[in-house]
Structure 1
Amino acid sequence: MSVTAVTSRVAEIQGVLSQLGAPRAPGSALAAGSFRTAMDGALATALAPAGAPAAAASPGGARVVAEAEKYLGVPYVWGGTDPANGLDCSGLVQLVYRNLGIDLPRVSRDQAQAGRPVASLAEAQPGDLLAFNSPVSHIAIYVGDGKMIEAPRPGLSVRVTEVSGDLTAIRRVLPESAPTVSGRASAPVSAVPYADLFNRAAATYGVDAGLLAAIAKQESGYRPDAVSPVGAQGLMQLMPATARGLGVSDSFDPAQAVDGAARLVRDLLDRFGRTDLALAAYNAGPGAVLRYGGIPPYPETQNYVRSVLATVGGTP
């Protein structure tokens, strides 16, 4: 880790030390031995080498908040990055975004430089990062309505609380808007099988409902029992490993299949920024798109992309 990052970590330590003198509810004081253990862990973390960055994929703000809410009640531990043992403020933020495919720096001061600035709390959106103090020594995730999720300080747990304190920066890591087919807003579909499932998934994940329906038509001909020669299953033809990664327990269940496929398409659109590349990745895998720097030169994939776009009436 660089000297700058270590200095940032020391600033965080100083910030938390300054908070330890603040009044706390009875019974919330941290034992001296526990604090020493947490401090030792923080120093070890600060001096540890940084890992390789992960590939970025941008979820929606609601998904960021939902992911963060999984850790409500996890105790604060200085230097904590494992929810089984405890989390500190920047450990919580880094973990939440990493789980959604976005790599952020380890310490709050560096996290407060990620993404784009937001002018005021009135313009903040769920999923934005809220940084506190100067230099920054605390960070939280905005959930909307003037509230945030934070790992506050020793003796307390991850919680939802009102935004308060010396708010010095608001950063937006997520994209301003989600890409759609031909740049148009998603319109509901009606004259196709499972239209209600496509419309529901489109509203949830910001994916064009017509695009989801076109994928289902191309993949399975709207057959929920379809199985391909290579083992892809169900209405949306999810491979078993892909389905497991999406949390789909039964690819033959149309509701699960459409929901999982919509999340996959959303991530691919965010990753590649173009509908044709997202479709190519759905068919051939993201690795193939990255390897060839575009739609792979596979006749099947090229025909697949053309056919789906022709069905939905869209362009990249």
Structure 2
Amino acid sequence: METIKNYLDNVFAALPKTDELFKLKNDLLINMEEKYNELKSEKKSENEAIGIVISEFGNIDELIGELGVNLHEDEMNFPTITEEEVKNYMTMKKQTGILVGIGVFLCITGTALLILITTLVDEGIIGRGFSEDTGYMIGLITLFVMIVPAVALFIYSGMKSERYKYLKKGFNVPLSVKSLLQQRYNGFTSTYMVSLILGVCLCVLSPVSIFAASVFGDTASIYGVIVLLIIIAIAVFIFIYYGSIKESFTFLLRIDNFSKENVENNKVIGAVAAILWPLAVCIFLVSGLVFNKWYINWIIFPITGILFGMFSSVYSIIKKRKD
């Protein structure tokens, strides 16, 4: 009996909390319990009885349609995607998360290699006799060699995502599939939290490499910056990969950032992020390569993150008050 109740709870968890659906859920539970007791009286085993009950009453989508329950008027004209489409979309998001994560990792490590090669040439460790400009040129070539496959990965992942562009116009997910998605999302939440904590810890601890290296002199602090960038690259990969998986759940379930009230907010916040973060990277590189401020310019990223977080929060609060 508890299995039947849990089944209904999971199915209706993904539905709006309306009086009509609450009554429907209670009526279903009563009918399913009656059928269960009837089957038990016929000497059916518990597993057999539960299986028969769920198979007879389990198609909640059809039942809601027959009863004429209107869940979302503005979604009536949206296409209903199949379970196979849901699986394919989630697989695509996982794959593109890996591709984009690797691409960003290559870009950041390419910057680290640029700094490393330039420093090694300047100190005469490699390329003795090379001029300072030659060192910069070799470093830039290495950076572009890393960026080229990264761009290819970005383009390829974008092409894979393009296949599901039609979903942005709106869609409906069958209630049974939505219920399974909700269960999987609940199970994934703990994994996502661990990845988030790990990534944040790596970012917070990354400046330690600069402090540790600076003990051996100003020149050594540059190597600390290189280690910092590699640690940041690992953290960013973790954020992108697990964030992409989480995004697949929230998009299909239409929750968090993909709820209707947040979609408009995300457009503005995303536009600001598209300008702010590249600008922060440019300032970081210019201050390091031109003014040799590697020992302190790492602080650009935490400051940018704090300011961006403040903007996002304030903007969201203002929008909610206006609405």
Bucket of the pairwise TM-score, normalised by the shorter protein: under 0.3
Task: Name the structure, 1 or 2, with higher relative contact order (CA <8 Å, separation 6+).
Answer: 2
Name the structure with the higher strand share. Answer: 1
Name the structure with the higher helix share. Answer: 2
- Using the size of structure 1 for normalisation, the TM-score is 0.26
- Using the size of structure 2 for normalisation, the TM-score is 0.25
Q: Which structure: larger Rg?
A: 2
